[in-house]
Structure 1
Amino acid sequence: MAGFDEDGLQSFLPAAFGSSGGEFDPAAQMESVRRRVPGQTDAKQTASTSSKDGSDSDQDSDSDDDDSEDEDEFPTSHEIVFKTHDRAVTTITVDPAGSRMITGSTDCTIKLHDFATMTPNTLRSFKSVDPTATKSSANSETHPVHVAKFNPNAPSQVLVVTATPQARILSRDGETTVEFVKGDMYLRDMHMTKGHISEITSGTWHPNNYDLCVTAGTDSTLRIWDVNVRNKQRDVIVHKSKLAGSAGRSRMTAVAWGSQIEGGNTLLVATALDGSLLMWGGQGPYNRPSAEVSQAHTSNTWTSGIDISSDGRLVVTRGGDDTIKLWDTRKFKQPVNTTSHASTSSPYPTSNIMFAPNATSIVTGSETGDLHILNPATLKPELVTPVTPGSALISVLWHDKLNQIITGSANAETHVLFNPKISSKGAVMVMSKPPKRRHVDDDPSLTTDMSQGISGSAIVNPGTSSEAIQGSTFSSRHPTIGLTASGRSRDPRRPHIPATTPFARSQPDERHIKERIPLSSMREEDPREALLKYAEKAEQDPMFTNVWKKTQPKTIYADLSDDEEGGPQKKKPRT
């Protein structure tokens, strides 16, 4: 064809069909989550400006190298933020492989996050679970979550401690598998009770044995549990306080269980409200502590954080007396070092402190929202970086395999700090993916809450029309649409929910009793009337008395008239 411009037509036609999201740039996306810390940015800009002017170029290059070395030493250069809770995040745990993260909060729920399924624009949990909710009652009481910890030896088990006397073992999918028994509160001897009689404050797993865990309670006891035996603890340790006035009891505030590399033994360390710091051998016996410091911290202050180093030689405690102390397990009488640090245990009793995976640093939070990385030898800060300014930093976790620091704050935010150069998987994997294309009806703030079940609107029957399928898809993405004023679903496929009666929350209504419970109508009948309606039938067809019908004697009554005196004699009146 004469005059045909092939190049012009090729530039006019699209290169591919469908909507294209543009080219994906992983480096630019990773740079978008770089932390902008006030002060450090200005210094870098000043250094770059001076280097452009040509003055002191050698010194500037040296300073830039030092800054990059300091930046690469700790995984704090980048961060992603999760806003999945409604209240303060009190506990964080990640499985040993680093694929699943669970957070607990004072909103009485735990949130489950899966790094493998998340993208940069879908940072949300895939499941929300209330650990204290029971299947028998949808309106059961809820309690704040104190501790949630993955089993380091069995990643399918999660120890969950709430503000109740009963600890629970959950699966990695949030299903309750074990609920330990509650003790008898009327027994005075704590050795005789089968479980805690009051609120549990802390708990942790055995470092080597995947079947054992320990919990600390306000009943002045530590209880070691076997996950295969739920109706009684394996061992009980009773702390008899020398300062407490009521029966020598003092609340246990924190507990840690570590291992010793040299001897292969384990170490159990706990703190109490009377200021005591106690240590036992992990294998027992537990009759008395192997070492005790009666005034480790100020009495009647809540020591919320305790941890043991990876080699079992050092113990760090964070007390409610605004101090952090380092202890040597071989010389347990006096602290090796002490530093002042404002405590957040008064409003948040689960504020923790922990060693880095290689025990070269100590990490904790502060009431100002800063992350403190301390030198274990001097307890002086090696790095102080703001995470949630103005909101207290409650819980911290430094994962060894991911090499990422995860923090939980009082403003309900969970921050994952990382460095692409020294961190792996986790947040690095999330930010290396292209953003997910959102559907027009997608709402990123929605989270699947399995505690309420799956809505019937998400089920599509075969043979339905396209309009019905579109309506069910829309209602599944928007579960609050299509409800009545009382909160019930308008979908006729959803089963009837019994109404709540004033007598009990779990008691079904009258309609449910009549339809589902056989012979339930007999509850409202008069027993006498119910028997007399069979009297005529019993005379006509004596099924049970027909055996002695011929031998039954007849009852003979005397025939007396009203005038005769054979009747019963009347009582004579007294004269």
Structure 2
Amino acid sequence: MDAEEGQSDGDIASVMGFSGFGKKARTFDLSAIFEQTRRTAIERSQRVLEERENEDQMKDEGGTPHSVKKSLKSAPASARKRSESSSDSDSEIGPPLPPQHNPEDDDDEEELVGPPLPPGYTAHSEDDEDEGEAQDEDDDDPVKKIPDTHEITLQHGTKTVSALGLDPSGARLVSGGYDFDVRFWDFAGMDQTLQAFRTLQPCECHQIKSLQYSVTGDVILVVSGNAQAKVLDRDGFNVMECIKGDQYIVDMANTKGHTAMLNCGCWHPKIKEEFMTCSNDGTVRTWDVNKEKQHKAVFKPRSFQGKKVIPICCTYSRDGKLVAAGCQDGSIQIWDRNLSVHTKYHCRQAHVPGSDTSCLTFSYDGMTLASRGGDDTLKLWDIRNFKKPVNVANGLTNYFTMTDCCFSPDDKLLITGTSVKKEEGNGKLVFFDRTTFQKVYQIDVTNASVVRCLWHPKLNQIMVGTGNGLVKVYYDPLKSYRGAKLCLAKTKRKEKHTEMLAQDYIITPHALPMFREARQRSTKKQLEKDRLDPKKSHKPEPPVSGPGRGGRVAAHGGTLSSFIVKNIALDKTDDSNPREAILRHAQAAAEDPYWVAPAYTQTQPEPLFAEASDEDEEADKEPEWKKRKI
């Protein structure tokens, strides 16, 4: 059978064009290996015990164990080899020792009882055990996981940074502020100068309220003080813009979009095309990126009396099934995403009425909701029992309608920022334990309010936006990954200076003597030449003689109207009596009436013209200088 299999393998190899199928895999007898290891360990432990007994015996006799070693070294080589071979044949079973092994080190080894340790494993001393216990304590203490040993500062501008967004991979950061600018930061592309690679104003003269990357990280939702939200791609180019609704329609559900200023917006955590916005028109709307002319659904928050309430912030639950909104009357209202009429959870007195609830965020397990109120509180809610908060923290000053709160990646801490007035202290980033809700840690960020905060779960870095235009990134070189660590490793590129040769001369053709114009020795001749040139001397045009040409009339006037007045209206060539001038046509009109007379022949009498009186004749005889000029 083996010969037949070998022949068939050879035939297949020759047909497929290669020499063989490779070497045959080695096989190991595990039971024999374990038995050999056990016997070796037992023999080694016995040899160590015998050596210790010999050392004790030598000490009693007054010698030292080193004398035994010296006697062995001073013995002839043949005897040493014979003794080593006999001892090896008697005691050692297994593979030979490596060539770099020093047999003298065996005397200093500690006693080993039991089977040898597996490869890659070292015996733990008491110090190692202490380190392990300390590491366990670090795992139990969430404060020691806060990455705040190092920080970098990104200069967004001089006004409040009101929006921050990190893509899911943590490679890019976007920041927006009250200066209408949106800046793009690339951690992998930045060097130590920490400059943004792009700055734009997507919403013209409107403050940026919220920025967020989608689940896939390919587009960014931009929510500003405008009534229309925008979606940009990763490089800042416009993808879509929501339609604006009709502000004259009373029922906001019948309009296609928002009619007032936006307050907040966020992406759906599961569906990459869907996002949500809330506005001062009293609605929360969901949108589809591919359908910018119409919203998907409308949620209308209502007060206890059924009146319209303005939502300040909105968010999705972690699974995307719930839609939550924090309203201006202090209530928190939560809907089922597929049922937009009645709320599923509703707390009327969540915060003080009239205070703006600036942030809502769900924990990673989806059972807990944190709310940051405008009444200087931070509250923790269990949505299964939404009547009263689980924990409350007071005294957290809040001056902004977009102050953040968020959970740590391990869901054990809750962080938020505090606001301060100008030159009245430092804004702080405060950390609370989720279970006890005790303040366990705080960071003094800068001498301005802390508005935005993000704790990215993949990078394990904390991004903070402040009221003086700074974006601070806190990280730990040992606990954080990529992000800010990438740009600090890059040095600033040196500018390449172009070397110029000072000895080279550039000669233009007109610089040669044969093409050079003769230099004027005096300015008088040049002035005379310029005077003859009509363009240089601005010589006025001579008067037109004759009827006129080129749109210009003769000496009678510069315009056509003056020419007509002087030549036609004031024509004095006809000095005859006007009565005689009219009566010249009387005979022709009577013999052959053509224009007016035929129409009145039946009704009008014959005209009788008065004869010239003596006064008219005397007037005609007046001298020329007495006649009135017309």
TM class, shorter-length: 0.5 to 0.7
Matched, 1:124 2:179: no
Query: One-letter code of the match for 2:166?
Result: V
Name the structure 2 match of 1:184. 246
Question: What one-letter code is carried by the residue in structure 2 that aligns with 1:149?
Answer: Q
Deviation of the 1:143 alpha carbon: 0.6
- Aligned ranges 1:135-534 → 2 under 5 Å: 142-152=205-215, 154-242=216-304, 248-260=307-319, 266-282=321-337, 284-344=338-398, 346=399, 348-367=400-419, 368-388=426-446, 390-438=447-495
User: Which amino acid in 2 is paired with 1:168?
Assistant: K
Shift in CA distance, 63/165, structure 1 to aligned 2, threshold 3 Å: same
Determine if the alignment matches structure 1 residue 565 to structure 2 residue 600: yes
**1:94, CA displacement in angstroms?**
0.9
In structure 2, C-alpha distance between the alignment counterparts of 1:559 and 1:376, rounded to whole Å: 114
Change (3 A) 1:466 1:330: farther
- Confirm or deny: 8 A CA contact 1:72 1:422 kept in the other structure: no
Moved more, 359-368 or 182-191: 359-368
Q: 2:138, 2:145 within 8 Å by CA — same for their partners in 1?
A: no
1:75 & 1:290 partners in 2: Cα distance?
A: 38
TM-score, normalized by length of structure 1? 0.61
2:151 corresponds to 1:96: no
Root-mean-square deviation over aligned CA pairs: 2.8
Q: CA deviation at 1:251?
A: 1.2
Structure that is richer in helix per residue? 2
Number of matched residues? Answer: 374
CA distance in 2, matches of 1:225, 1:466: 67
Q: Aligned AA for 1:377?
A: T
Query: Following superposition, which runs of at least 4 residues in structure 1 exceed 6 angstroms of deviation?
Result: 62-71
Q: CA deviation at 1:63?
A: 12
Shift of 1:259: 2.4
Letter matched to residue 251 of structure 1: I
TM superposition score normalised by structure 2: 0.56
Deviations 1:179-217 (A, max 9, x none): 000110000001101111101100111110001111011
Partner amino acid, structure 2, of 1:145: I
For residues 317 and 188 of structure 1, the distance between their equivalents in structure 2, rounded to whole angstroms, comes to 31
Amino acid at match of 1:351: T
Contact 1:71–1:77 under 8 Å retained in 2: no
Q: What's the CA shift for 1:240?
A: 2.0
Identity %: 30
Structure of higher RCO (CA pairs closer than 8 Å, 6+ residues apart): 1
Following superposition, the deviation at residue 559 of structure 1 comes to 3.6
What is the rounded CA distance, in whole Å, between the counterparts of 1:466 and 1:256 in structure 2? 70
1:440 & 1:361 partners in 2: Cα distance? 52
Change (3 A) 1:241 1:561: same
Structure 2 unaligned regions, length at least 5: 1-132, 420-425, 499-503, 507-592, 605-630
Could you tell me whether the CA contact under 8 Å between 2:156 and 2:175 is conserved in 1?
no
| Aligned-partner Cα distance in 1 for 2:302–2:269 | 26
Residue 460 of structure 2 aligns to which amino acid in structure 1? N
SS in 1 for 2:317: strand
Call closer, same or farther: CA 1:74–1:561 in 2, change over 3 Å: closer
3-state secondary structure, aligned to 1:411: coil
Alignment CA distance shift 1:334-1:86 (3 Å): same
Structure with greater Cα Rg: 2
Question: Relative to 1, partners in 2 of residues 1:71 and 1:290: Cα closer, same or farther, differing over 3 Å?
Answer: closer
SS at match of 2:486: helix
The 1-side partners of 2:135 and 2:434 are apart by 27
Q: CA contact under 8 A between 1:84 and 1:124: conserved in structure 2?
A: no
Q: Distance in 2 between matches of 1:270 and 1:411?
A: 28
Does the alignment pair 1:83 with 2:146? no
Q: Give the Cα separation in 2 of the matches to 1:300 and 1:276.
A: 10
- Per-residue CA deviations over 1:401-428 (Å, capped at 9, x if unaligned) read 1100000101101100000001010111
**Aligned 8 A contact 1:323 1:340 in 2:** yes
| Residue of structure 1 in register with 2:65 after alignment | none
CA 1:440–1:311: 2 relative to 1, 3 Å? farther
2:464 is paired with a residue whose SS is strand
